[in-house]
Amino acid sequence: MSWRAKVAASFVGLLLLFVAPSTSYASGYQTDGNLGLQSQPDCAEVLVTALEEGDLMGDLVNPVLNTQAEIEEKIALYKRVYPCIDELGIVFSQEDLELIDMLVLRFLYLVEGEGQQIDLVDLETSDDPAVSRLRDEIGVPPPDGYIFVNHIDSRYEIPTYVTDAFLDPDVRGVALPFRFVIVLEESDTVFDDLGMEEKSRSKTISHELVHAYLEAKLDLEDDLPTWFHEGLATNLSGGAKTQTISLMIPGLSAEIVRTAPEDYLTYDTVFRYLESELSEEGFNKVVREAIENNSVEGIFLATGFADFDELLVTAEKWGETHEPPKDATELDLDEVAIPVEPNDEPNTELPDNWKDFLITVGVWVGVPISLVIICGVILAIIRGEPLF
Ligand SMILES: [Zn+2]
């Protein structure tokens, strides 16, 4: 079998799932100038070798890299083959080529970076509270390879070929398949002043790391429902009532999964209910087994519900009398407002409406006095008495 046939055969399955929207990478296709990429004479040859020897597409989407040297090797390879991707037109459709092109640009942006801070998170050793709990208490073995956490100062810096999820002003964090996290570090003056921004930001990172943990582990096999992904990420990162609204984009499908703020609350309630109904050990067991078996059936078996709808009805009823714990990052403006201290000093200032007050006094006192004087003068004139 020729390399073309092999590549074509191995890509068929993947490409069916990787239908990216054409608008999101159309701009990236022409931007190789920004990366300083120059076509080398052996470009096509290197690309063909990369396709023959490895899973180019799989490596671009879910790069399992464990050392700095491995990262640098991939960056060098993709920069070298990028200029001749369109030479694969004999094997791939224009649409597929644009997808490979977008994936290379996305990899370079999220792994090498364009000035943004990128943290390499090793899930085996990370001390992030949500990651620690998932790994050490719940007992889910961490996937190999780094998670790339990008810290971005402004939502406008993120190229649309990476994600246009940040066009939504409420989005603070995104987990991209399968091991990329983007966290927005745009400062919000009110929350910064109150020291809440940083706390909220670390919760956003925790939330997205839970997504990346599961995504990197399950890859394309992921069959777990949204309520499980979002409920677990919210539960492990410490509650739903935050200013963080995040997205998880499964696969490279055109559809972006947006979870509404009220849905985070609902999913969090379901997880708090499960925690309260099952012992800690029982809760950890059903969560671990759901991830291991790639199915939430065990949760229904353990709780006796037929499906999620049944579980939801009971959890929501339970939630009516079990408020989530209060948290400093709650978006509750009543609590954010600075309390007014009671003032013991005597109030010597005139009231704001003092002008109205003086006019009223003037009318009620002045008018009768004036009338008495006028009457007195008239009487004096009639009697012929001297006025003064
Ligand atoms: Zn999420």
Q: Could you read off the pLDDT of 182-199 as tens digits, one per residue?
A: 998 877 655 555 566 777
Most confident by average pLDDT, 44-53, 57-66, 162-171, 272-281:
272-281
Tell me the pLDDT of the chain averaged across its residues. 78
Global pTM value: 0.72
Q: Which residues surround ligand 1, an ion (CB under 5 A)?
A: 230, 233, 246, 248
User: What spacing in Å lies between the alpha carbon of 119 and ligand 1's midpoint?
Assistant: 19
Domain ranges of the chain: 1-112, 115-342, 349-388
pLDDT reported for residue 364: 77
The CA-atom distances, in angstroms, between 93 and each of 12, 32, 126, 292, 329 are 12, 20, 41, 37, 48
User: What spacing in Å lies between the alpha carbon of 124 and ligand 1's midpoint?
Assistant: 21
Residue 123 scores a pLDDT above 60: yes
pLDDT reported for residue 183: 92
User: What spacing in Å lies between the alpha carbon of 276 and ligand 1's midpoint?
Assistant: 22
User: What spacing in Å lies between the alpha carbon of 246 and ligand 1's midpoint?
Assistant: 5
The average pLDDT across 79-92 equals 84
User: What spacing in Å lies between the alpha carbon of 239 and ligand 1's midpoint?
Assistant: 12
User: What spacing in Å lies between the alpha carbon of 207 and ligand 1's midpoint?
Assistant: 6
pLDDT reported for residue 252: 53
Please list the residues that pair with 246 across neighbouring strands.
173
Q: Could you read off the pLDDT of 304-355 as tens digits, one per residue?
A: 999 999 999 999 999 999 988 766 444 433 333 333 333 444 445 555 566 6
User: What spacing in Å lies between the alpha carbon of 164 and ligand 1's midpoint?
Assistant: 16
User: What spacing in Å lies between the alpha carbon of 6 and ligand 1's midpoint?
Assistant: 37
Residue 54 scores a pLDDT above 70: yes
Would you place residue 263 in the very low, low, confident or very high pLDDT band (cuts 50, 70, 90)? confident
User: What spacing in Å lies between the alpha carbon of 321 and ligand 1's midpoint?
Assistant: 25
User: What spacing in Å lies between the alpha carbon of 311 and ligand 1's midpoint?
Assistant: 20
Q: Percent of the chain having pLDDT more than 70? A: 71
User: What spacing in Å lies between the alpha carbon of 251 and ligand 1's midpoint?
Assistant: 15
pLDDT reported for residue 195: 64
Q: Could you read off the pLDDT of 348-360 as tens digits, one per residue?
A: 555 556 666 667 7
User: What spacing in Å lies between the alpha carbon of 264 and ligand 1's midpoint?
Assistant: 8
pLDDT reported for residue 336: 34
User: What spacing in Å lies between the alpha carbon of 175 and ligand 1's midpoint?
Assistant: 8
